[in-house]
């Protein structure tokens, strides 16, 4: 079964073709990051307009890459939410229109389910059940994944998502938008012990997260340190940025790793998975990998390119759902908010 996956929930147009027999046949991605950088965040109307420009050429290119025509497809999967409504509507209306024209099923995919299943694109796949740490620009969740479509949220963020905390801190340090990746690259050259930032909610039971206090602590430190005279020297200032980046990253990684450990103990599961944009963070990946020996578990993370938004994870999730033969009415669906726990199979 060959499924076309369409991802347009935010600022990436992702188009892929997944074949349930032969794996990924095509994977096209266009990032709008440069378009939004000047606004310091995603500008929703510009995002929708750009998806409209890119979506059809990318679908054509994906078919060329896969060496198939649209008539060879068996289904269309599109991200129906959560995300920006205008951006979602581009993917869902193009997806459903293609499905009507080709007389195929169109299947709506939950963006976070796409992230959560992205590690299954790898040759070495996690087996159900597992604990998934889903950390992206909009979400930070610990999920009990019993099976596909059977999700219980064990912990959620009370304020900022992990990626949002990375991006806001990066912005404060003058690293542009979205700065999570840049911040983590600078952190490698910094001293993670120079500042001791709070590890939010670790002293309380439970698996929820909160990152706004950490963000404030970083802001206060930044203001205090940059007021001091010795930062007139540019080299000192650059080192300060690196040290704050390293200390901030350490606080986030420490918090996420300890909550993962708790979730594993709570569920008794033997498999831990991370997914979402922040799962590209090398420090987080290596810290969680250490849990393999410590807790005698298996740890899985997606390939770097499938951590952040992409069409491949949507094509895969759609294909897995279509294989289970649901009835689809091919109505255009777009949900800005959509609780992962509402999903069934």
Residues in contact with ligand KG4 by CB under 6 A are: 10, 136-138, 163, 166-167, 178, 180-181, 184, 276-278, 280-281, 308-309
Q: How far is the CB of 216 from Zn ion (least distance, A)?
A: 26
Closest CB to ligand KG4 among residues 267, 283: 283
Judge residue 329's burial from the number of C-beta atoms within 10 Å of its C-beta, 0-12 exposed, 13-18 middle, 19 or more buried: exposed
- Rounded distance between C-alpha atoms, residue 326 and residue 322, angstroms: 6
- 13 makes contact with Zn ion (CB under 5 A): no
278 binds, among Zn ion, ligand KG4, none (CB under 5 to 8 A by kind): ligand KG4
User: Three-state DSSP class for 329?
Assistant: coil
Edge to edge, what strands does the sheet with 106-110 contain?
A: 23-31, 12-19, 2-7, 75-81, 106-110
Select the binding partner of residue 167 from ligand KG4, Zn ion, none (C-beta < 5 to 8 A, by kind): ligand KG4
Using alpha carbons, select from 298, 291, 344, 321 the residue that is nearest to residue 117. Answer: 321
Instruction: Indicate which of Zn ion, ligand KG4, none lies near residue 181 (CB less than 5 to 8 Å, by partner kind).
Output: ligand KG4
Minimal CB distance residue for ligand KG4: 277
Q: How far apart are CB 283 and ligand KG4 at their closest, in Å?
A: 8
Rounded CA-CA distance 248/139 in Å is 19
- Closest to ligand KG4 by CB, 95 vs 276, is 276
CB 255 → Zn ion: shortest distance, Å? 20
Of Zn ion, ligand KG4, none, which one does residue 281 interact with (CB within 5 to 8 Å by kind)? ligand KG4
Shortest Cβ 313–Zn ion spacing (Å): 9
309: contact with Zn ion by CB under 5 A: yes
Which of the listed partners (ligand KG4, Zn ion, none) does 49 bind, with a CB threshold of 5 to 8 Å by partner kind? none
Q: Which one of ligand KG4, Zn ion, none is in contact with 285 (Cβ closer than 5 to 8 A by kind)? A: none
* Edge-first strand listing for the sheet containing 130-135: 150-156, 140-147, 130-135, 271-275, 298-300
- Residue 271 sits in the site that holds Zn ion (CB under 5 A): no
Q: Count of alpha carbons within 13 Å of 289, Cβ hemisphere only?
A: 9
Contact flags string 120-139 toward Zn ion, x per CB under 5 A = ----------------x---
Rounded-to-integer distance, Cα 254 and Cα 199, Å: 7
The strand pairing partners of 147, in sequence order, are: 150
Task: Pick between residue 63 and residue 278 the one whose CB is nearest to Zn ion.
Answer: 278
Q: Which has the closest alpha carbon to 271: 296, 239, 305?
A: 296
- Decide if 9 contacts 88 (C-beta within 8 A): yes
Nearest to Zn ion of 117, 297 (CB atom): 117
Number of residues that bind Zn ion (CB under 5 A): 2
List, in sequence order, every residue forming a beta bridge with 26; answer none if it has no partner: 17
Q: Which does 263 bind (CB under 5 to 8 A by kind): ligand KG4, Zn ion, none?
A: none
228 vs 290, which CB is nearer to ligand KG4? Answer: 290
Angle between helices 162-172 and 234-267 (to 10 degrees): 170
Give me the residues that bind Zn ion (CB under 5 A), please.
136, 309
């Amino acid at each position: 079964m060959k499924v076309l996956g369409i991802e347009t929930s935010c600022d990436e147009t992702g188009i892929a073709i997944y074949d349930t027999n032969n794996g990924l046949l095509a994977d096209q991605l266009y990032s709008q990051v440069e378009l939004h950088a000047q606004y310091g965040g995603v500008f929703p109307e510009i995002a929708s307009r750009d998806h409209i420009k890119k979506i059809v050429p990318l679908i054509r290119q994906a078919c060329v890459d896969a060496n198939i025509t649209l008539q060879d497809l068996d289904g269309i999967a599109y991200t129906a939410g959560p995300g920006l409504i205008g951006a979602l509507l581009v993917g869902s209306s193009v997806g459903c229109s293609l499905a009507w024209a080709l007389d195929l099923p169109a299947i709506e995919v939950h963006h976070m389910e796409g992230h959560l299943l992205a590690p299954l694109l790898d040759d070495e796949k996690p087996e159900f059940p597992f604990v998934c740490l889903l950390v992206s620009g909009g979400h930070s969740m610990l999920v009990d994944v019993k099976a596909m479509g059977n999700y219980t949220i064990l912990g959620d963020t009370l304020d900022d998502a992990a990626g949002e905390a990375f991006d806001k801190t990066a912005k404060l340090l003058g690293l542009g938008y979205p700065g999570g990746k840049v911040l983590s690259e600078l952190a490698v050259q910094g001293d993670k012990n120079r500042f001791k930032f709070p590890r939010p909610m670790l002293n309380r039971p439970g698996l929820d997260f909160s990152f706004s206090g950490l963000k404030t602590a970083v802001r206060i430190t930044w203001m205090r340190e940059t007021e001091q005279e010795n930062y007139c020297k540019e080299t000192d200032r650059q080192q300060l940025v690196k040290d704050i980046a390293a200390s901030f990253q350490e606080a986030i990684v420490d918090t996420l790793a300890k909550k993962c450990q708790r979730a594993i103990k709570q569920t008794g599961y033997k498999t831990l998975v991370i997914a979402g944009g922040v799962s590209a963070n090398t420090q987080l990946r290596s810290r969680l990998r250490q849990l393999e020996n410590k807790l005698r578990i298996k740890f899985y993370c997606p390939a770097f390119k499938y951590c952040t938004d992409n069409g491949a994870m949507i094509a895969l999730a759609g294909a897995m759902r279509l294989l289970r033969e649901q009835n689809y009415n091919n109505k255009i669906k777009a949900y800005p908010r959509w609780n992962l726990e509402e999903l069934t199979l």
